[in-house]
Structure 1
């Protein structure tokens, strides 16, 4: 139900944007995320790529200096959607486009006034998640560890960092490392509790960690907090 509501809200925002490509692009980010949550990867990719095309066609000088953040975020959303569809070629091409854009984007300004965060680190996090969704879990974890070990990782919005940690638990679990998955969830909860306590993906991952065997005290406390154990 939350994903359905998110899709509806994003779709209405797209309609309300009218002919403004920037407003449409901002709405398309949310729309793509909602469609991915509903397992509608191809539609999500189409929505994001279409919004990028509209931004590319807009007259120069219309947008703010940090506008690459929006285009880059849309490219990342499109890449994640492509990976969800199993399209490795499209995911790779879109990620490379985002990476090229990120080299010219000052990561110190990682979030503009609309909350769009983009830079080299967000591209690397996307590489990790696309690798995971395409089944290369070892590569996903390797990229994840390198990206989260950088100073720029700590500059990203708390919700972004927590959401990524929740998402990467799938790679840890598929590699048979529930302890790493548990640590990721506990860290995510410390960064942005709402992400772990509301998102279905977090509860699903935490349930898998609990079923895998004995857990640390921190994981047990988190499970009790979210209502999975007494």
Structure 2
């Protein structure tokens, strides 16, 4: 059903290119579809949705930047890290070329989010130099434009804490799990952590379980999953990544009661 829907919407995009509200809506719908599909492990369909978002965004650097976030995430899910980094940085370049007189207040945050996606993609390729440089650029933007968090409509946020969470995940993807956990604990220990959207916090907690597990700490991984479920249950109960992590925790040995309850709720254990 989804491919048919995407096909119909693409036709609308081609027949109404000058209708800016329609283009904004199409980009938003396709981005949401891509984001959900990445979480569900449907990377190919996510790439299709993100590609349609890019088509709908043609001619507008801000819309293209928003679409490129989803495109980078879909490409990373397809294990195309270099392409994901290129997609994000191309969008950053286009935003940099935007005349100052039409630069919108949220575009520094958009640029920062794209830099984070590029850094994460670089880390998946093992390019620690690029990952570090891109993360530092994002950190500079977060500092220069204040210590508030910009919230996007798809559940993401940008600010100093979001940059630190990304720094933890880049370390994890580069194989430095000890450093990843240290940064993670520092970033989630303050009030700013709670200002991020619930979906962002839960998704991060699910992602960081890989570092806990690789360090031989299934209890910490289990606690992260239980906390993620309390924050945003849909993240833990529908994402294959959460199920995989929870299965690994169960296999590691005796589990805490709340972890067992979560596993039973999801259907990984019989009650």
TM-score (norm 1): 0.97
Any runs of at least 4 consecutive aligned residues in structure 1 with deviations exceeding 3 A, and if so which? 112-116
* Residue pairs, 1:88-107, within 5 angstroms: 88-107=128-147
Q: State the SS of the aligned residue for 1:201.
A: helix
State the aligned residue count.
230
Partner residue of 1:49 out of 86, 89, 112: 89
Larger Rg: 2
Deviation at 1:109, TM superposition (A): 4.0
1:83 aligns with 2:123: yes
Partner residue of 1:7 out of 47, 65, 76: 47
1:119 match = 159
Deviation at 1:110, TM superposition (A): 2.7
* Separation in structure 2 between the aligned mates of residue 36 and residue 55 of structure 1, nearest angstrom: 22
* Separation in structure 1 between the aligned mates of residue 155 and residue 240 of structure 2, nearest angstrom: 23
Partner residue of 2:265 out of 210, 218, 225: 225
For the aligned residue pairs, the C-alpha RMSD in angstroms reads 1.3
1:33 aligns with 2:64: no
Would you say the 8 A contact 1:69–1:116 is kept in 2?
A: no
Could you list the per-position Cα deviations for residues 69-127 of structure 1 after superposition, in whole angstroms to 9, with x for gaps in the alignment?
10000000000000001100110010010011110223434315675521110110011
2:253 match = 213
Would you say the 8 A contact 1:197–1:226 is kept in 2?
A: yes
* Separation in structure 2 between the aligned mates of residue 22 and residue 134 of structure 1, nearest angstrom: 30
TM-score (norm 2): 0.82
